[in-house]
């Protein structure tokens, strides 16, 4: 009698354990599908039109934002240039995919705004299909307040990247400057270049010294080229004409 009772208890306990195990397995499987069912792979959007990319991402439960627009001779206007996250990245649904859109080849001529009032310069840029980028102020006693002193990119520049022009504007002589235009330092001795930048509080990174080949002697109608003086700047970053401030560290490449 006791043996039969024990046997029945063992059967019931085994059945309960099987039911618990099955329940745990079902819960784990449900959780797995719930987690991975909410994940998708980011598709390749490069080369698509913005409308096509928006349709594809929407079908996957993702959203699409056009963050930037750039000129491109290789990608037609209205098509995707770059994307983030990159193709194949696994993200959760409702993730925001950011893309840049091509404006096609540059077809606008960058107007010359130097010497114009800031408002007039902004109007001329908009009429040309361009935008006003960063605007920096520089105390300038020799010009009327609000006059454009420099622009980046310069007038009639070709192969510009973005449809925007940065302006440096004259401020009252006692104002605190919030930016400068990067001077052309190529050919200047590195010590003099560093001193010129230090005067306005702009730091330079340790210079990169490189070997410069000796210029060939001219022959026939070709005039001889002067050799590069050791210790002189042969390249700079940012380029001349760009906006710089005290947060930027200028990089100089110098001839050995």
Q: Name residues whose C-beta falls within 8 Å of residue 7's C-beta, 6 or more positions apart in sequence.
A: none
The residue ranking higher by pLDDT, 220 or 94, is 94
Confidence at residue 109, expressed as pLDDT on a 0 to 100 scale: 94
CATH class of the domain whose range is 181-215+226-255: alpha beta
d(C-alpha 101, C-alpha 76), whole Å: 9
pLDDT digits (tens, 9 = 90+) for 214-233: 656 555 555 555 577 889 99
Mean of pLDDT values over 162-174? 84
Q: What is the DSSP string of the chain?
A: -HHHHHHHHHHHHHHHHHHHHHHHHHHHHHHHHHHHTTEEEPPP-TTSBHHHHHHHHHHTT-EEEEEEEE--SSS-TTBEEEEESPTT-EEETTPEEEEEEE--S--PPPP--TTSBHHHHHHHHHHTT-EEEEEEEEE-TTS-TTBEEEEESPTT-SS-SSSEEEEEEEE-TTSPP--EEPP--TTSBHHHHHHHHHTTT-EEPPPEEE--PPPPPP-TTSPPPPPPPTTBEEEEESPTT-EE-TT-EEEEEEE-
Confidence at residue 33, expressed as pLDDT on a 0 to 100 scale: 45
Is residue 188 a contact partner of residue 144, using CB atoms and an 8 Å limit?
no
d(C-alpha 87, C-alpha 40), whole Å: 11
Taking 70 as the threshold, does the pLDDT of residue 87 lie above it?
yes
With the CA atoms of 47, 49, 50 and 52 taken in that order, what torsion angle do they form, in degrees rounded to the nearest 10? -110
Q: What is the CATH number of domain 118-171?
A: 3.30.10.20
Mean of pLDDT values over 80-99? 90
CATH 3.30.10.20 boundaries in the chain: 39-102, 118-171, 181-215+226-255
CATH class of the domain whose range is 39-102: alpha beta
pTM strictly above 0.85: no
Mean of pLDDT values over 134-156? 84
Confidence at residue 190, expressed as pLDDT on a 0 to 100 scale: 92
State how beta strands 63-70 and 208-210 pair.
Answer: unpaired
Top-confidence range, 32-36, 117-121, 159-163, 181-185: 117-121
Taking 70 as the threshold, does the pLDDT of residue 156 lie above it?
yes
Is residue 112 a contact partner of residue 79, using CB atoms and an 8 Å limit?
no
């Amino acid at each position: 009698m006791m043996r039969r009772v024990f046997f029945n208890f063992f059967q019931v306990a085994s059945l309960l354990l099987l039911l618990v195990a099955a329940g745990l397995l079902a819960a784990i499987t449900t959780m797995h599908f719930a987690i991975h069912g909410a994940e998708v792979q980011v598709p390749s959007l490069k080369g698509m039109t913005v409308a096509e990319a928006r349709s594809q991402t929407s079908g996957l439960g993702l959203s699409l934002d056009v963050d930037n627009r750039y000129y491109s001779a290789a990608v037609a206007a209205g098509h995707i240039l770059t994307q983030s996250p990159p193709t194949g990245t696994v993200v959760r649904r409702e993730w925001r995919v950011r893309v840049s859109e091509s404006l096609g080849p540059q077809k606008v001529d960058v107007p010359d705004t130097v010497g114009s009032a800031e408002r007039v310069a902004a109007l001329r840029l908009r009429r040309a299909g361009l935008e006003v980028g960063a605007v920096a102020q520089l105390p300038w006693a020799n010009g009327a307040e609000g006059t454009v002193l420099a622009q980046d990119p310069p007038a009639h520049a070709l192969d510009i990247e973005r449809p925007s022009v940065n302006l440096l504007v004259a401020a009252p002589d006692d104002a605190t400057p919030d930016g400068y235009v990067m001077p052309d330092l190529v050919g200047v001795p590195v010590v003099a270049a560093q001193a010129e930048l230090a005067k306005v509080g702009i730091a330079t990174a340790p210079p990169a010294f490189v070997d410069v080949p000796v210029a060939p002697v001219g022959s026939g109608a070709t005039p001889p080229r002067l050799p590069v003086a050791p210790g002189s700047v042969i390249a700079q970053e940012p380029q001349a004409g760009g906006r710089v401030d005290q947060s930027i560290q200028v990089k100089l490449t110098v001839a050995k």
